Structure 1
Amino acid sequence: MTSAAERPLLFLDVDGPLIPFGSSYAHPPAATADASTPVDQGNPLLKRLDPGIGARLMALGCHLIWASTWMEEANETVAPLIGLPKLPVVQWPDVRAEKGPRGLHWKARPLVEWADGRPFIWVDDEISAMDRQWVAASHPGPSLLHHVDPTKGLDDADFSTLAGWLHALPPR
């Protein structure tokens, strides 16, 4: 078994992968840490969270990192509803102003910098062919840029793909 420092990174977006846009309510209500706190926390989209998905993500054995515009709010609101501990959060620099290849997602460069050559998975609903091409040319380690259908969110097929990629990684 690899140590925590050697585990692949998994950069996780919230909107789309965890909060699908295509269904209004597909999962049982997510549990809250405090029964007096409403599940939706003022955001009705939180009802779309699958309360079991945190355990499935943890079972992948990756070092999970929030890569979302939710920033620290992902730890405060989303993590407790899906059973995740507090996770590191990518702090986005003002990368939208930086020049890059046309079509490159503004998250790509900061994620490659954060990974610093380590194997990583980026789970997002906005990944493009340009992102895959740029990461392949810019990142010396293995990477999987996994596009999630935002109308469904992470599903069994996605978890199979992630687990298969992780299983095929050479030992470190």
Structure 2
Amino acid sequence: MGTDGFSGRPVLFLDVDGPLIPFGRSAAEYPTYRGGSVLGGCGANPLLGRINPDHGLRLAALSCELVWATSWMAEANDCVAPWMGLPELAVVTWPDPCDLDECDEREGLHWKTRTLVGWAAGRPFVWLDDELTDADRVWVAAHHRGHAYLHRVDPRCGLADADYVAVQQWLTDRTRSE
């Protein structure tokens, strides 16, 4: 661990809705995984059953530090992590909506972008989200002093093999260049 409490590995910021819980098609088109609708104190959220628990092993195998970057915030540790077999992860705390820069929205910048760059504090990071745009990529390139890979996940499918391949390739390339 470094002096900041983190390992020297890159961070992977992970969103839940879209990357892990696919949406946008008819409900009948999505597989439902065993027991996903009732997890501990998470109530009967039918969308949890769409999370493929195999994502936990695949995410844990990546050479990075996983961090929840989702509006689920701490609920991701209570509801999603146990279902996927993940330990409790760090959670990004979002600013109050009143504190967000209204210019960001007008310029197409995602409401999470500034916070994630601040949280990374110069460390290399991957951001998996279904709402990323070129505006986010341009802003991160101009304001983040480390390497960053912003990868948009198709929310209709959620994380797929190609997404894992792309992330692992980026992580491997970073390891070789440093």
TM-score normalised to the size of structure 1?
A: 0.88
In structure 2, relative to structure 1, the CA distance for the partners of 1:49 and 1:23 (3 Å cut) is: farther
Aligned match of 1:94:
96
Q: Among 105, 127, 151, which residue is 1:146 paired with? A: 151
Aligned match of 1:115:
120
Equivalent residue letter for 2:129: D
1:41 Cα deviation from its structure 2 partner: 3.2
Q: What is the aligned-residue identity percentage?
A: 51
The Cα offsets for residues 103-127 of structure 1, whole Å up to 9 and x where unpaired, read as 1001000000000100000000000
**Mapped partners of 1:164, 1:49: distance in 2:** 24
1:133 Cα deviation from its structure 2 partner: 0.4
Equivalent residue letter for 1:80: P
**Mapped partners of 2:124, 2:97: distance in 1:** 22
**Mapped partners of 1:149, 1:134: distance in 2:** 21
**Mapped partners of 2:63, 2:34: distance in 1:** 26
Aligned partners of 2:52 and 2:84 also within 8 Å: yes
Q: Which has the higher helix share?
A: 2
1:100 Cα deviation from its structure 2 partner: 3.7
Number of aligned residues: 168
Q: What SS class does the counterpart of residue 145 from structure 1 fall into?
A: strand
Does residue 134 (structure 1) correspond to residue 146 (structure 2)? The answer is no
1:154 Cα deviation from its structure 2 partner: 0.3
TM-score normalised to the size of structure 2?
A: 0.85
**Mapped partners of 2:130, 2:39: distance in 1:** 29
**Mapped partners of 1:133, 1:47: distance in 2:** 35
Does residue 28 (structure 1) correspond to residue 33 (structure 2)? The answer is yes
Aligned match of 2:64:
62
In structure 2, relative to structure 1, the CA distance for the partners of 1:23 and 1:41 (3 Å cut) is: farther
In structure 2, relative to structure 1, the CA distance for the partners of 1:23 and 1:89 (3 Å cut) is: farther
In structure 2, relative to structure 1, the CA distance for the partners of 1:90 and 1:73 (3 Å cut) is: same
1:42 Cα deviation from its structure 2 partner: 1.2
Aligned match of 1:7:
9
1:26 Cα deviation from its structure 2 partner: 2.1
Equivalent residue letter for 2:135: M
Aligned partners of 2:39 and 2:83 also within 8 Å: no
Equivalent residue letter for 1:166: L
Query: Which residues of structure 1 form unaligned runs of 5+?
Result: none
Query: Which residues of structure 2 form unaligned runs of 5+?
Result: none
| RMSD between aligned residues | 2.4
Deviating above 6 A after TM superposition, structure 1's stretches of 4 or more consecutive aligned residues are none
Aligned match of 1:106:
111
1:99 Cα deviation from its structure 2 partner: 3.8
Aligned match of 1:17:
19
Q: What SS class does the counterpart of residue 86 from structure 2 fall into?
A: coil
